[in-house]
Amino acid sequence: MTSIHAIDEARLSIMLNELRLPTIKILWQKFAEQADREGWPAARFLSAIAEHELAERAHRRIERHLAEAHLPPGKTLDSFAFDAVPMISKAQVMAIAAGDSRLAKGANILMFGPPGGGKSHLAAAIGLALIENGWRVLFTRTTDLVQKLQVARRELQLEAAIAKLDKFDLLILDDLAYVTKDQAETSVLFELISARYERRSIMITANQPFGEWNRVFPDPAMTLAAVDRLVHHATIFEMNVESYRRRSAMEAKRQRGRPASYATIKNTNELVAERQSEPDEAIASDNQSDNLIGTAT
């Protein structure tokens, strides 16, 4: 009888391997013993081990997505100083981080403000929260990704390279303004924006408002076309605050007995204001209520 029982266990182990159920393979004996002791019905036993298998799969999936996302470490919503950026609605950020319907429809998120204002932190924190909620995210410096796409273009693989990025629900392009004003660079960036338009979401952080994007796109027509695609169905955050790093330095000086002065930097953007004067449903909804090509294989 014991030998028969051992054979059954061996066969079960093989079958669980074939079915790719590693968690059940590890836990079934423990749960079977508990079920025998407590007189569980078969349905309760199967439900218990299946629940653990699903939970472990979700945990492994999140770990894979975190590894591929390349998020900067330590950037979370809990550690973001919302009180230092009063123009940002925490409730709106939390809704985006939860992964609402706008993300599924390819809506964009745009963050503008001077260096050190927390744009990259907030972008990465939203990306982390989205991954924890089951979405796939890629965080990259814009210049790094543009260089990869340029290589792909030279190898006649640009379309395939952009298509590989489709697996990411959100593509975070950090520091857009640092792309050089070069036709080759900006054209691949424009093709990326166009390819994802109304299909996959893009989040952009930039120091300059749209009105100064002629420094990024040398062709005025390309600038207008890129802005139009990005602003359509977009949530825009204008983080016009003094640099967090400068505030920290000034606070340190003040603690040493040196008075600090604070300034608020105001940026206006007529181009965005004009585009937003005709809000679509996504913007109206908002009003109501952060090897890369290789890793994308």
- What CATH number is associated with residue 141? 3.40.50.300
| 53, 154: one domain | no
What band does 106 get if pLDDT is binned at 50, 70 and 90?
very high
Residue 267, pLDDT > 50, answer no
| Same domain membership, residue 8 and residue 109 | no
pLDDT over 50 at 97, yes or no = yes
Position 71 scores a pLDDT of 97
131, exposed or middle or buried, with CB in 10 Å at 0-12, 13-18, 19+?
Answer: buried
pLDDT at position 279, please? 46
Residue 109 has pLDDT above 90, yes or no: yes
pLDDT exceeds 50 at position 220 = yes
Whether 62 and 83 map to the same domain: the answer is no
71 DSSP assignment:
P
Largest CA distance in the chain: 85
Beta carbons within 8 Å of 254's beta carbon, 6+ residues apart: 260
> pTM for the full model?
0.73
pLDDT band at 102; cut points 50, 70, 90: confident
CA distances from 159 to 123, 162, 295 (A): 26, 5, 16
Residue 219: per-residue pLDDT: 78
Domain end marker among 17, 43, 66: 66
Residues 39 and 88 in one domain: no
Other Cβ atoms less than 10 A from the Cβ of 41: the count is: 9
Hey, how many other C-beta atoms are within 10 angstroms of the C-beta on 90?
Answer: 12
79 and 21, same structural domain? no
Q: Mean pLDDT for the chain? A: 82
Number of domains in the chain: 2
* pLDDT tens-digit readout, 38-57: 999 999 999 999 999 999 99
Domain boundary residue, one of 12, 43, 66? 66
Do 251 and 135 belong together in one domain?
A: yes
Q: Do 98 and 162 have their domain in common?
A: yes
Could you tell me if 34 and 157 lie in one domain? no
Look up the domain containing 238 and give its range.
75-295
Is the pLDDT reported for residue 286 higher than 50? no
pLDDT for 69: 97
Share of the chain above pLDDT 90, in %: 57
User: Which of 114-118, 134-138, 144-148, 268-272 is predicted least confidently?
Assistant: 268-272
Q: Do 9 and 142 fall into the same domain?
A: no
Do 145 and 220 fall within a single domain? yes
* pLDDT bucket at 213, cuts 50 / 70 / 90: confident
Last residue of a domain, one of 66, 83, 118: 66
Please give the pLDDT value at position 224.
Answer: 87
Domain match, 106 and 58 both: no
Same domain, yes or no: 163 and 238: yes
pLDDT band at 37 (very low <50, low <70, confident <90, very high): very high
Buried b (16+ CB within 10 A) or exposed e, 167-188: ebbbbbbbbbbebeeeeebbbb
Give tens-digit pLDDT for 145-190.
999 999 999 999 999 999 999 999 999 999 887 666 667 778 899 9
Query: Cβ–Cβ contacts within 10 Å for residue 114, how many?
Result: 16
pLDDT digits (tens, 9 = 90+) for 7-23: 888 899 999 999 999 99
